[in-house]
Structure 1
Amino acid sequence: MTRASYNDIAQWYDQFLRERPVYMEVILPGLLTLVGEVEGEVICDLACGQGWVARELARRGAQVIGLDLAPNLLALAQRYEEQEPLGIGYVQGDAQRAEGLSDHQFTGCVCVMALINIPDLQATFQSVRRILKPGGWLVFAIPHPCFESPHAQWTSLSDPEHPLGRTVTGYFDERQWFSSNPDGVRSRVGDYHRMLSTYLNQLAAAGFALERTLEPGPSDRQAERVPGNREIPTLLLIRAHLSDGPQAENISRG
């Protein structure tokens, strides 16, 4: 079976984002909490897609450049920019190399629900390090790797003897996988499942120091769609900044 890329599903994905409350009602508030005040910040929206995060940051006073591999998503982002000019620039490129972006160009970087689609996580973290100014920060959001492993499932709502929970299998099996849910993104483009320790260790190896994490609960509308979110977090957001320690110096020399 031939699998689609984000470029193939650009229009569908744009509609998907607008219809799912988790993006604006759960992910965005958590992201803004970790990012903080952005007035005057120069921010890269890495793997920006159709630019929904870039627009939210630009509306709050940031200077934003979005980078994405999919030209059809970038065309949508540019169309939104033309409808509501916010001064956002868009660049086509691979997040693993961040070509088209200069060294030490940004004070911060966000990457929202996209690291799971990128094969080489370490190369991506190294590219983020390259484009950030000294002391720059990174905020990213991913499906929670502890609870969103391949083929994890909610327990039955029809069993009154047991509270709603999550059955997790395959946590240690780091690989690309595709969901069987025909209405979701992962059935179309898949994602790369990684253990939580992999994200944290590779973040540290790239010279970042962990600042804060969030495991947000659901909004009311999201809880109606996914009742299990009242019990178990399925999202993880992380903020880190470039370290000035010896490890970071060695990485920069390398």
Structure 2
Amino acid sequence: MGTAGRPAYDAYADWYEGFISGGGDYLRRVHATVTDLLGAGEGSCLDICCGTGAHASVPAGLGWTPVGVDLSGGQLRHARGRLPVARGVHPCFVGAFADWGHHPSVVVDERYADRSRSFDSWNTSGVRVRVGAWHLPLADLVNATVAAGLRLVRVVEAGPGGVPDLFGLLALRDR
């Protein structure tokens, strides 16, 4: 949460909309990863941490009906024009514990297990230094997915030079 119980991204929603909608290599890689992860299909596709809905066109273009969930009402204000949305708490996988300053080497420190909020980031002009984040170790994320009654189908990591900076998972609720 941000100040006074307000989600941190609310104060930066308009900035983030311009930032993420600007395109660039990272956005193209995210869209390629989502395309690879989902493939063509039909039915509902839940976009957890949907933010401004900037990725909604990808599952929609594959035949899915994307539905977004995010904690930030400010972000959802932008997302509503792109997909149906609901406001809810979601997990985050972020990397205050990872120093990407000497890419392709990435240094991971002891903060990987720290689940507290952090504004630490190797990128002093990025999203994390503005809004902070709560890290969720991968084991916790996968276990929360299974505990929610979802069946884990596939997990992907992607990044330049074989060093992942994207993580995605496909989980389905059996009917």
TM-score calculated relative to the size of structure 1:
0.56
- Distance in 1 (CA, whole Å) between partners of 2:33 and 2:97 is 26
Contact 2:51 2:70 in 1 (8 A): yes
- Distance in 1 (CA, whole Å) between partners of 2:151 and 2:73 is 33
Aligned length: 168
For 1:64, what is the secondary structure of its paired residue?
A: strand
- Distance in 2 (CA, whole Å) between partners of 1:210 and 1:90 is 24
Structure 2 equivalent of residue 152 of structure 1: 98
Q: Equivalences for 1:56-205 in 2 at 5 Å?
A: 56-78=58-80, 81=81, 89-94=83-88, 96=89, 115-116=91-92, 142-143=93-94, 148=95, 150-154=96-100, 156=102, 164-169=104-109, 170-180=111-121, 181-205=123-147
Contact 1:71 1:92 in 2 (8 A): no
Residues 240 and 73 of structure 1: is their aligned pair in 2 closer, same or farther, counting only changes over 3 Å?
closer
Contact 1:66 1:91 in 2 (8 A): yes
Aligned-pair CA distance for 1:9: 0.7
Contact 1:175 1:192 in 2 (8 A): yes
The residue type equivalent to 1:33 in the other structure is: D
The residue type equivalent to 1:72 in the other structure is: G
Instruction: Flag structure 2 segments of 5+ consecutive residues without an equivalent.
Output: none
Query: Once the two structures are aligned, what percentage of the paired residues are identical?
Result: 29
Instruction: Flag structure 1 segments of 5+ consecutive residues without an equivalent.
Output: 82-87, 97-113, 117-141, 158-163, 219-229, 245-254
The residue type equivalent to 2:13 in the other structure is: A
- Distance in 2 (CA, whole Å) between partners of 1:43 and 1:8 is 27
Contact 1:215 1:237 in 2 (8 A): yes
Deviations 1:181-225 (A, max 9, x none): 33111111111112222122222222233222211133xxxxxxx
4+ runs deviating over 6 angstroms = none
The residue type equivalent to 1:61 in the other structure is: G
From 8, 15, 20, the counterpart of 1:17: 20
The structure having more radius of gyration, on CA atoms, is 1
For 2:29, what is the secondary structure of its paired residue?
A: helix
Query: What is the CA RMSD across the aligned residues, in angstroms?
Result: 2.8
For 1:32, what is the secondary structure of its paired residue?
A: helix
- Distance in 2 (CA, whole Å) between partners of 1:183 and 1:166 is 18
